[in-house]
């Protein structure tokens, strides 16, 4: 059974569209695929800084977790900040429109376990959706928790 060129082209375009659309729903970060804008999250001005959010594992062996923040990727080696998390959620006020890599160091007996995550924190202009000046921060979320 032969398909006409027009039908074949239509089917290929539909398949490509579905493939692209499915990528939105399989993204790593929740904020990468959420299509709705929550206008209550708006900044009325274009922010130049916001909080990076870092999730770590705090337990009996790791009651504090050393963190190293790199501007860009780890291989570039540009340390931006070092600190220690003592709760399972840590915040660091940082520049928007920047890529960061965060390293956490854990101990397991005599072994040291390092966890890395990289993300870019940006803003999204939601003026049209919210009807007034509205900038929403996207990204900047790092999951460095140990697997159970």
Position of tokens 């007034």? Answer: 132
| Chain center to CA of 110 | 31
- Element containing residue 1 per DSSP (H, E): none
Query: Per-domain residue ranges for the chain?
Result: 1-30, 36-143
- Calpha distance 114→97 (Å, rounded): 26
User: Rounded mean pLDDT of 92-108?
Assistant: 96
Residue 9 is predicted with a pLDDT of 58
Contact between 103 and 96 (Cβ < 8 Å)? no
The pTM score is 0.73
- Transcribe 14-44 into DSSP letters: HHHHHHHHHHHHT-SSGGGT-----GGG-BS
Q: Please tell me the CATH code under which domain 36-143 is placed.
A: 2.60.40
Cβ contact 111:125 at 8 Å: no
What span, in angstroms and rounded, lies between the C-alpha atoms of 60 and 53?
Answer: 23
Q: What is the pLDDT of residues 113-147, one digit of tens each?
A: 999 999 999 999 999 999 899 999 999 999 999 98
């Amino acid at each position: 059974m032969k398909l006409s060129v027009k039908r074949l082209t239509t089917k290929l375009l539909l398949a490509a569209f579905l493939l692209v659309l499915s990528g939105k729903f399989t993204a790593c970060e929740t904020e990468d695929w959420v299509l709705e804008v929550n206008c209550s999250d708006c900044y009325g001005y274009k922010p130049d800084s916001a909080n990076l959010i870092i999730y770590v594992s705090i337990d009996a062996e790791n009651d504090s977790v050393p963190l190293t923040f790199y501007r860009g990727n780890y291989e570039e080696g540009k340390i931006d900040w070092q600190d220690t998390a003592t709760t399972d959620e840590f915040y660091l006020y940082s520049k928007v429109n920047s890529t960061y890599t965060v390293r956490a160091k854990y101990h397991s007996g005599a072994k040291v376990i390092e966890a890395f995550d990289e993300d870019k924190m940006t803003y999204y202009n939601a003026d049209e959706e919210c009807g007034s000046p509205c900038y929403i921060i996207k990204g900047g979320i790092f999951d460095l928790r140990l697997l159970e």
